[in-house]
């Protein structure tokens, strides 16, 4: 099953209810919006295939061996890809009515920043947060930096998924802080168990692309 995301840009953020959705109003999405998001998806997909998929012998975070590795950090920090990532991921979570996005440092950090900028550009502003692997041992001793997440609806972001443990570590820290985690959203789903682990926690799972999109077999 393809991981293709919806092509309509949905309103998100604390003022989402004030933004009219053309579909809800009985109007079709604008051709410009559809075409632009399709172009973003194709651009990013081409970049992933050309520059982020490495073939060889690799050990995954799960400890399992694989003959390819998808290194999305090559692209989340790339000026050609980051704007498209922001728009694609914003659209992917657009119907969830959240106020902030982020995840475990450092894989999620550039994605959250890209989504923040994309949301501002579409007048549906979201804040971003960073989840440290451990609380600081000095200063305010915080584990979550950035947006105040207590009592707020948030989405956890990740670049690629293997077991889902990175996302779940972020979920645990956010829950301790009083956040309401709505979903986990990833750019590339490797289809190696992360979705089941996330859904077992009662969270929705969303992915912009999966291995079918990349022409790769699950390992």
Residue ranges of the annotated binding site for orotate are: 162, 190
Known binding positions for 5-phospho-alpha-D-ribose 1-diphosphate:
132-133, 136, 138, 158-166
Q: Which letter does DSSP use for residue 16 in this model? A: G
Calpha distance 149→81 (Å, rounded) = 28
Token pair 């399992």 in the structure block, residue: 64
Q: Give CB contacts under 8 A, 24+ apart, made by 35-39.
A: 36/87, 37/7, 37/8, 37/9, 37/87, 37/88, 37/91, 38/7
Q: What share of the chain is helix, strand, coil (3-state, %, to 5)?
A: 35, 25, 40
Token pair 């490495």 in the structure block, residue: 54
The answer to whether residues 112 and 76 touch, using CB atoms and an 8 Å cutoff, is: no
| C-alpha 106: how far from chain center | 13
| Of 203, 199, 210, 217, residue with least CA distance to 5 | 210
Known binding positions:
132-133, 136, 138, 158-166, 190
| Of 7, 180, 214, residue with least CA distance to 94 | 7
């Amino acid at each position: 099953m393809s991981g293709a995301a919806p092509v309509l840009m949905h309103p998100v953020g604390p003022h989402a209810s004030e933004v009219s959705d053309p579909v809800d109003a009985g109007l079709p999405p604008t051709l410009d919006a559809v075409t632009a998001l399709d172009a973003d998806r194709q651009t990013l997909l081409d970049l992933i295939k050309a520059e982020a998929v490495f073939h060889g012998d690799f050990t995954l975070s799960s400890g399992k061996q694989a003959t390819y590795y998808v290194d999305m950090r090559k692209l989340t920090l790339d000026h050609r890809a980051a704007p498209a990532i922001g728009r694609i991921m914003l659209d992917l979570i657009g119907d969830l009515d959240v106020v902030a996005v982020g995840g475990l440092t450092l894989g999620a950090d550039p994605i959250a920043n890209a989504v923040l900028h994309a949301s501002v550009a579409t007048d549906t502003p979201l804040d971003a947060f960073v989840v440290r692997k451990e609380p600081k041992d000095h200063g305010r001793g915080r584990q979550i930096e950035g947006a105040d997440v207590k009592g707020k609806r948030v989405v956890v972001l990740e670049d690629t998924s293997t077991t889902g443990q990175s996302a779940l570590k972020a979920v645990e820290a956010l829950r301790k802080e009083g956040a309401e985690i709505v979903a986990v959203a990833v750019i590339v789903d490797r289809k190696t168990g992360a979705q089941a682990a996330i859904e077992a926690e009662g969270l929705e799972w969303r992915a912009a692309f999966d291995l079918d999109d990349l022409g790769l077999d699950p390992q």
